[in-house]
Amino acid sequence: MITPLTQNITPNREPPDLKQYAQAGGYQGLQRAIKTLTPQEVLQEVKESNLRGRGGAGFPTGKKWSFVPMGDDAPRPKYLVANADEMEPGTFKDRLLMEGDPHQLLEGMILASYAIQAEVAYIFLRAEYRLAAQRLKKAIAEAYEMNYLGKNLLGSAFSLELHLHTSAGRYICGEETALLNALEGKRAIPRAKPPYPQVSGLWGQPTVVNNVETLCNVPHIIARGAAWYQNLSRSEDGGTKFYGASGRVKHPGAWELPMGTPIREILEEHAGGMKDGFQLRGLLPGGASTDFLTEEHLDVPMDYDSVQSAGSRLGTGTMIILDDRTCPVGMLCNLEHFFAQESCGWCTPCRDGLPWVEKILLGIEQGQGQPEDLDYLTMHTRLLGPGHTFCAHAPGAMEPLQSALKYFRADFEQHIHHQRCPFK
């Protein structure tokens, strides 16, 4: 199995420095791009690879880059931002990539910046990722020393300044326009779209925001070609994917596997199956803000279109497992508490609706639920759904709730009928 993203990562060992990274084939993609490819040719290679965003939305990366104005009359400066504010519950893939191989991210950012002709790049890093920050700072210094960053990269006319920015710590900064507001020193609230960041982003200038895992794929595409990258996949989506599993499985963790690997294979062969004495009831396939899937979906390939056809989203590809001894109502109560706490407060449905959802769920879990509570929860899944809020925060919070009401409704009804949590 070919694993380009993790080929240099060894658990419990220091990441490769620049020299070691280069000896393993690192910066070959950058050398090729700077010396033999135009920015448009780099963009086209990424388009043909069918790389889709790994942060959750799955938007085609090359297409996203293509919206940036190019040419001599394009606005200057342009910016590239790596979204490393990984705060989705159950998600830890980007941390492993940054801690384990920071130069891979830097090379991906340099190539992306070259493709859109950005002069300045930022890594917007989650505040708690202190080890990643240390290793990124070291890698950035090494890259400047070897002229992979700075003025006239590798003797070319292209220049790039790269900065590490540590977040103050809010989940809403995962939304790209709220991230840009925070990077400007403003309140982290989402912006209206259009205009989209590719046209008017950071300080009103053309900006591309990409996820860490997305950018880490770019060096391998440019070094080895789009066709090679597509052949790594088991689906129409190109490349490999960092999949993960947390919960009561025997070997929780993350693994780089071909895009489109079935859920069953990930859980049974890589996560080791359920712990002894526990059975699978459901899973959130892409972090907390995705719809539940159940045992009937175990053979669904983990790619964007297949998971969507099954009624959920691939999201980050890191699964949260629900077992038969965990109360689904209690699990939902915990998730909705997080989403209510992390609302930026900018729009009324999210600011006021999510705390109400949490209050209803808490009442049901504590034995105070009423039959009409299920109708109120169902109403919220509609009123806080897509098209009713300023960004995707509340709609994402409704995905586990609406699917839990579908698959685990009997558990809600038992709580209400017996006026207690049957799992306690």
**Would you call 186 exposed, middle or buried from its count of C-beta atoms within 10 A (0-12, 13-18, 19+)?**
exposed
pLDDT tens digits along 97-112: 999 999 999 999 999 9
Could you give the CA distance from residue 196 to residue 88 in angstroms, rounded to a whole number? 23
CB 171 within 8 A of CB 343: no
Q: Give CA separation, 399 vs 21, 367, 384, 402, 414, in Å.
A: 40, 24, 10, 5, 22
Is 320 a residue whose pLDDT tops 80?
Answer: yes
- What CATH number has the domain spanning 328-418? 1.20.1440.230
pLDDT tens digits along 195-216: 999 999 999 999 999 999 999 9
Could you give the CA distance from residue 246 to residue 297 in angstroms, rounded to a whole number? 18
3-state secondary structure of 59: coil
Residue-level pLDDT at 57: 83
CB 117 within 8 A of CB 70: yes
- Domain chopping of the chain, boundaries: 18-232, 243-323, 328-418
CATH for 243-323 (3.40.47.10, 3.40.50.720, 3.10.20.600, 3.40.50.300):
3.10.20.600
Percent of the chain with pLDDT over 70: 100
pLDDT tens digits along 132-159: 999 999 999 999 999 999 999 999 999 9
- Report residue 56's pLDDT band, with 50, 70 and 90 as the boundaries: confident
CATH 3.90.1300.10 fits 18-232, yes or no: no
Direct distance between the N- and C-terminal alpha carbons of the chain, in angstroms, rounded to an integer: 44
Mean pLDDT of 267-290: 97
Same fold, 243-323 and 328-418: no
Is 190 a residue whose pLDDT tops 90?
Answer: yes
The token pair at 147 is: 């002229």
